[in-house]
Amino acid sequence: MEFRLHRIALALGLPGALLASEPALPAVASTPAPAAFTPATPIPLGVMRRMYLQDSRPYEVGVGALPTTILLPEVIEAFEASNITTQPNTVAPVFLQHRDGTRYFSVKALVPGTADLNVILKNTLYSFRFYFTDNPVRTLTIEPPPPAEAGADSPPLPITARRLYDILQEAKTYFLLRDQHPELQRSMAVVSPGKVLEYPGYRVVIDQVYRFERDDTLVIRAVFLNDDLRPRHYRPEDVGLRVGRNLYWPSFAQLPGTIPGRAPAEITWELSPDVASLTLTPPTGPSSDLTHLVSATLSEPGRYTLRATGPQGRTDTISLVVRFPVPAQEASPAIVSKGPQDFGLRKLILRPPEPGQNFGYVCYTGTADGQRANLSLENDFSLVVPAPLSP
**pLDDT tens string 312-362:** 889 999 999 999 988 888 888 999 999 989 999 999 999 999 999 999 999
3-class secondary structure, 145: coil
Q: What is the CATH topology of the domain spanning 7-14+40-143? A: Immunoglobulin-like (2.60.40)
Phi-psi region of 313 (alpha: psi -120 to 50; beta: other; left: phi over 0): left
Question: Could you give the residue range(s) of every CATH 2.60.40 domain in the chain?
Answer: 7-14+40-143, 161-260+357-384
| pTM (predicted TM-score) | 0.59
Range 163-176 burial, b when 16+ CB lie within 10 A, else e:
bbeebbebbeebee
Q: If DSSP codes are grouped into helix, strand and coil, which group holds residue 365?
A: strand
Q: What CATH number is given for 161-260+357-384 in this structure?
A: 2.60.40
Phi, psi of 281 (to 5 degrees): -105, 115
| Measured distance CA(80)–CA(96) in Å, rounded | 12
Q: What are phi and psi of 313, to 5 degrees?
A: 75, 15
Q: What is the pLDDT of residues 278-289, one digit of tens each?
A: 999 999 989 999
User: pLDDT tens across 4-33, in order?
Assistant: 554 333 333 333 333 333 444 344 333 344
